Amino acid sequence: MDFKIYRTKENELIEGCLRQNRQAQQALYQRYAGKMYALCCRYVKDRMEAEDVLVMSFTKIFEKISQYKGDGSFEGWIRRVVVNQSLTYLRKNKSMYLETDIEEAAFEPDFQKLENQLEAEDLMKLIEELPVGYRTVFNLYAIDGYNHQEIAEQLGVSENTSKSQLSRARALLQKRLIETEKEWIKKTN
C-alpha cells in the first residue's frame, strides 16, 4: 500500500505503523512532525535539541503505538508522548529546575491595547524567554491543559510548587508585557 501524507486515513497509518511499515511511519511523521516540533520548542529552547527530542519522541511513538487503544484523539496521544519526552529530556539534562524569586510588576498592563498589537508569535517568544521551570509549568498548565496534580506527578514536585511556579511565570509574563507596552508607547509617541 502506498501511504500518502494526507490522503491516507489516520487508522490506515496506525495499522501500517503497527506492522512496522516504513512508508506508513514516514507518512505519519510527515503529517505530525511540524506541530510536534513546535511543541518540543515550547519546552526545549535550543532548536537542535528540540529536533533531537522530536526524533526521540517519534521513535517512542513507533515503539509504543500498540498502546494507543483508540480512546481519544490519536493526535492527543502523540502530543502526550512528545510532552513526556520533552520533560524526560529536561530532567536528564538537569535543566529542569524550579526558580524561586521574581520582582513584582509595578503596574497593570492594558491588555486590551496590547491585544491589538501583540501577535501570537510575539507571545510565544515571551513564553520561550521564561526560565525553564516557569516555562515548563506554564506550558503544561496554560497551553497543554494539565492540572496541578498531573504537573506535580510529571515533574516530581508538590502541587503547591506547581501552583507557585505558574504564579511566578504569570507574574514574569505580566512584567514582560508591561515592558512591551512601554516600548510600544515610546515608538508611537
Q: What is the CATH number of the domain that holds 117?
A: 1.10.10.10
Residue 45 included in any domain:
yes
Give the per-residue pLDDT at 102.
41
Distances in whole angstroms, Cα of residue 111 to Cα of each of 93, 108, 114, 142? 36, 8, 5, 17
C-alpha cell at 75: 493526535
Give me the tens of pLDDT residue by residue for the chain, a chain 189 residues long: 555 544 568 899 999 999 999 999 999 999 999 999 999 999 998 899 999 999 999 999 999 999 998 888 999 999 999 999 999 998 888 655 555 444 433 444 444 444 444 566 777 888 888 999 999 999 999 988 899 999 999 888 899 999 999 999 999 988 888 887 777 777 776
Q: What's the confidence (pLDDT) of residue 45?
A: 85
Total number of domains constituting the chain: 2
State how far the Cα of 139 lies from the Cα of 151, in Å rounded to an integer. 10
C-alpha 42/C-alpha 160 separation (Å) is 23
Whether residues 81 and 124 share a domain: the answer is no
Q: Whole-prediction pTM value? A: 0.67
Whether 53 maps to a domain, the answer reads yes
Q: Is residue 4 part of a domain?
A: no
- pLDDT value at residue 2: 54
What's the count of helices (H) and strands (E) in the chain, helices before strands?
Answer: 9, 0
CATH value at residue 68: 1.10.1740.10
pLDDT confidence of residue 3: 56
Mention every residue, 6+ apart, whose C-beta is less than 8 A from residue 168.
99, 102, 134
What is the predicted pLDDT for the residue at 114?
45
Separation between Cα atoms, residue 134 and residue 99, nearest integer Å: 7
Together in a domain, 14 and 64 = yes
Query: Are residue 15 and residue 45 in the same domain, yes or no?
Result: yes
Kindly state whether residues 115 and 88 are assigned to the same domain: no
Task: Write out the residue range of the structural domain in which residue 77 sits.
Answer: 10-92
Contact in structure between 177 and 114 (CB atoms under 8 Å): yes
Same domain, 129 and 75: no
Indicate if 74 and 128 belong to the same structural domain: no
Please indicate, yes or no, whether residues 88 and 116 belong to a single structural domain of this protein: no
